[in-house]
A and B are shown apart, each in its own frame.
Chain A
């Protein structure tokens, strides 16, 4: 296994909550040295979201550990000018700065892009905010799940004709973090070619809207506002989530052709349905989709979930069990996937946490467990930034390093 692609790249990471920490988890796994700057005075709320074995504490959060892999932590109370100066010294020695504070906060600390280019001309800085750094509504607060409402996704997510629905998985935070990886690496590629850094202004809402081409192009081509269509699809039927035996158990089935529909009918033991003129052809199935879904559901009810899914897969159909968290964590293929890694954490020891969803044939990714808050303050201040032990003690006494 060879060297990692981002070895030698240092990231001063001011990000918190979900999106930016997910991006830097990718970059850390790829070999970048990620230094997370944070403070217990205004902590990342994620550090207090859930604990370990029933006990909550800043260094016990499973949610935090699940996201903040492959980084070190420096405690800096940025409200203090001395801490801002330390941050500037860190950035002077860094290649990339990431942050997702409210618009204007970094500037308030003397850490805006305009300030930083003066001390590090080729710095790459990425700011992630709900609606971007400019425009009449720039000064908004919010994380992804509230922001996506503004971007159009909420409106098209729901059952046919239903009200808009909230979305799970803290969508779109992780999609945005994933996009940030590409944007940062693109800027880094450019810097390596030309020596120029730059500023990346990412508006979460805009990125969400780049992921809605079906709906946005309907507006632009036809002036029509699409509504929610549940689990359905305009080009496939059946395409949905169907009940099986047991309480709140479901199987997801997507038939992408007439042949696949025929195979579904055989598995459901109603081969005649495949020849029924109401259903035989895709156009007919789409026209009669309410009736079709009811008929399919009436049959799937007689099957146990995993048995039905296995039979459908045997026939080459796209089918899957609808997973709860417990179901996912019981799926051996997932547990064995390279995404699941066993890492050590300062206060709670070894736990299995998820890494990034990509693997590379020529590289072993660099995983280590999320840091306790300020775990590497002394290391970074003395080793990297050249502060003496006396200076560090003084700064600590003055509550700068908390």
Chain B
């Protein structure tokens, strides 16, 4: 455990101190890390988050890579180390009646529960949201499920791929490199973006319910769906659809970029850059950045609609110019004229980037099992109550004693007995 900064009194306060969160493991075979991200968000800003894991095998992220030297180890996997910072870890089989009883004891003093399991399973285990909100009227029960607990799809399984591809985000990706429909199927983003988006949304929703409780004294059920969370990316397109119903029945994947031509990635002399000249201001800026080339004054490109109509020609001309520029040159020249342009960096380049370094984004701490660990840090810099790592990710069952004995009042013997019965 142990961080460089364990509880020193000179440390600044944290925003969510005093809030108690319990996170249940996803028992599905489908990896689903949204609840883990939600509880991490609370823990990293100072809340107490108790992560409940299945005995012996632990939470899903312990079994998922990346692992150091590709040797699977539930204590040192990268996802576990990242997602479980600042959490207390207990093991508990709440499918068994005695285990469920202990879970209920834990929930008596909790403010928020994140449960990433499907509604039918929860009901079978006696932990459906109706049962929990009835039993614990002050508890905020956050269901984080593939499709929501109230949808006709409530019993369908999902996950990152399905949520992405059923949300239209997959349909629109890649944004502009589809030249052969069969060879370029709709694409999901790298990593598990919909899990993490859903996790951030669940965290915000839980805090909203906590404000409601401050006014009313009552907890409630919060229903967060991975599918709808991904669909929220399409709010502009859905708005467009309902306003242009006669003219916008959908679009072909070849034509996605013609919606606005706003977001391009293009090859340059030493890699790729992103570039947008979608607005008049950006177009004028790019003129200056490129040194007023003659082609940009062509009648073909006079107004934004003209430019949209001649997207292919613009694309080709910019690529000509970019082929003479390094990423850094294109970045500096365009940004110097307030044109959105960024290098496409690989994760290794991000890890070594000067801007991230100057802001102290990546953080390092000692971890008993994993030695020194470096990882992404604060998603947002708070001036008074900063994000920080007080404790590295827990070993499996590391805080069983602290929670079951010191908090819930079980005897050491009880815990040993439960451990023998594989409940703890």
Contacts and interface: CB of A to CB of B under 8 A. Distances in A.
B385 interface: yes
A171 B243 contact: no
B238 A141 contact: no
Interface string B154-189: 001111111011111111111111000110111111
Interface in A238-289: 239-241, 243, 247-248, 250, 252, 254, 256-257, 260
Given A141-B338, A164-B272, A213 B191 contact: yes
A131 B355 CA distance: 8
B220 A168 contact: no
A207 interface: yes
A187 B177 contact: no
A398 to B, nearest CB: 25
Contacts of B252: 248
Nearest to B162: A320
A37 interface: no
Interface stretch (B3-11, B93-101, B370-378, B404-412): B370-378
A320 B157 CA distance: 9
Contact of A198 (B244, B246, B382): B382
A149 B265 contact: yes
Contact of A337 (B151, B204, B346): B151
Q: Which of A26, A62, A333 gathers most chain B CB within 10 Å?
A: A62
A394 B359 CA distance: 46
Interface stretch (A2-10, A72-80, A85-93, A381-389): A2-10
Contacts of A58: none
A174 B232 contact: yes
B273 interface: yes
B176 A328 contact: no
Contacts of A201: 380-381, 383
Interface in B337-356: 338-351, 353-356
Contacts of B358: 134-136
A153 B230 CA distance: 17
B114 interface: no
A175 B193 contact: yes
Chief secondary structure at chain A's binding surface: mixed
Interface in B99-144: 129, 133
Interface in B211-231: 211-212, 214-216, 218, 220-225, 228-231
B21 interface: no
B376 A66 contact: no
Given A65-B243, A190-B384, A221-B68, A130 B221 contact: no
B347 A357 contact: no
Contact of A165 (B175, B347, B383): B175
B30 interface: yes
A339 interface: yes
A202 B244 contact: no
Given A135-B355, A200-B380, A220 B171 contact: no
B249 A216 contact: no
A18 B375 contact: no
A193 B133 CA distance: 26
Contacts of A334: 231
A353 interface: yes
A230 interface: yes
A141 B289 CA distance: 14
A264 B112 CA distance: 38
Contact of B30 (A181, A202, A209, A254): A254
B342 A316 contact: no
A166 B175 contact: yes
Nearest to A239: B161
A392 interface: no
Nearest to A190: B15
Contact of B342 (A150, A186, A197, A357): A150
Contact of B161 (A228, A233, A234, A316): A233
A349 B387 CA distance: 44
16 contacts: A2-B212, A6-B211, A66-B236, A137-B354, A152-B350, A167-B189, A182-B203, A186-B207, A210-B196, A215-B190, A219-B351, A328-B168, A357-B232, A358-B205, A360-B220, A363-B220
Given A153-B190, A166-B263, A233-B160, 5 more contacts: A157-B174, A200-B380, A213-B375, A214-B191, A220-B78
